[in-house]
Amino acid sequence: MHKSPIQNCLTSTSTSTNSTSTPNALEGVVQVRDKVAERIVLDFADKRVALHLANLERCHVVVTSPVSALSASALRHCTLWLSEAYASVFIDQASHSTLSLAAAQVRLRGLTRCTVLVCANSAPILEDSSDVSLAPYRSWLPAEAHIDERRISNWQEWRVMQDMSWARANEPSPHWMFVHTPPPTLV
């Protein structure tokens, strides 16, 4: 069994131990919380887990294998790289962070001064945020990345951000902007 190099900082909650479960069934929820200034590398191999990150400050998080879903809250001065979420990503309250996300659906709420590198199968949703920079996901990939390029190659919806706090269709939102190069902290 492959163990993550940071197994000691994880809280895992199993959702099912039934050996007759389907191969695509969720195998558990993994939580990483209350960390400061840590490099966290997560590899779940072939397990179908949902990941929750909470209350991280100055952390560098790399998720090298796909997860079922990702939720994160209270990220401050962090870098998060996610290989892929099969379903959705929900980030609630992040500041001064860089988030690299590939998912079927991406929802972002309460971001301040963040850069989001995104690849999504539907238009990302932004709520109650300010000073968000948006760039394509492939502009930065870590060496430990395991990406199914065939699966996400047609996911081009990152260009169509839906800002729920800006209802004026004929005017650009003041809450986010496109950027074409990743921030220096990622290179």
pLDDT band at 158 (very low <50, low <70, confident <90, very high): low
The more confidently predicted of residues 18 and 146 is 146
Q: Give the three-class secondary structure for 91.
A: strand
CB atoms within 10 A of CB 109: 17
pLDDT at residue 4 in the model: 30
Q: Give the three-class secondary structure for 129.
A: coil
Q: Is residue 130 part of a domain?
A: yes
Give the β-pairing of 85-95 and 69-76: parallel
Beta bridge partners of 80: 61, 99
pLDDT at residue 182 in the model: 54
Q: Is residue 2 part of a domain?
A: no
In whole angstroms, give the CA distance from residue 144 to residue 104: 22
Q: Is residue 19 part of a domain?
A: no
The more confidently predicted of residues 137 and 38 is 38
With b for 16 or more beta-carbon neighbours within 10 A and e for fewer, the 111-125 pattern comes to bbebbbbbbbbeebb
pLDDT at residue 54 in the model: 98
| N residues, the chain | 187
Per-residue tokens: 32 = 């990483």
Radius of gyration of the chain (CA): 16
Given a cut of 80, is residue 72 above it in pLDDT? yes
pLDDT at residue 84 in the model: 87
The residue segments making up the domain with residue 117 are 7-14+26-186
pLDDT at residue 12 in the model: 37
What's this model's pTM, rounded to 2 decimal places?
A: 0.75
Q: Is residue 1 part of a domain?
A: no
Rounded to an integer, the average pLDDT of 79-102 is: 93
pLDDT at residue 181 in the model: 59
CATH number of the domain within which 76 lies: 2.160.20.70
pLDDT band at 122 (very low <50, low <70, confident <90, very high): confident
pLDDT at residue 64 in the model: 86
Per-residue tokens: 58 = 């100055």
pLDDT at residue 49 in the model: 93
In whole angstroms, give the CA distance from residue 159 to residue 178: 8
Give the β-pairing of 28-36 and 10-13: antiparallel
End-to-end CA distance of the chain: 32
Given a cut of 70, is residue 36 above it in pLDDT? yes
pLDDT band at 125 (very low <50, low <70, confident <90, very high): confident
Q: Is residue 21 part of a domain?
A: no
Among residues 112, 74, 108, the alpha carbon closest in space to that of 88 is found at: 108
Q: Which amino acid is at 100?
A: S
Phi, psi dihedrals of residue 185, rounded to the nearest 5°: -65, -15
pLDDT at residue 58 in the model: 98
Q: Is residue 173 part of a domain?
A: yes
In whole angstroms, give the CA distance from residue 71 to residue 91: 6
Residue-averaged pLDDT of the chain: 75
How many domains is the chain built from? 1
The more confidently predicted of residues 144 and 61 is 61
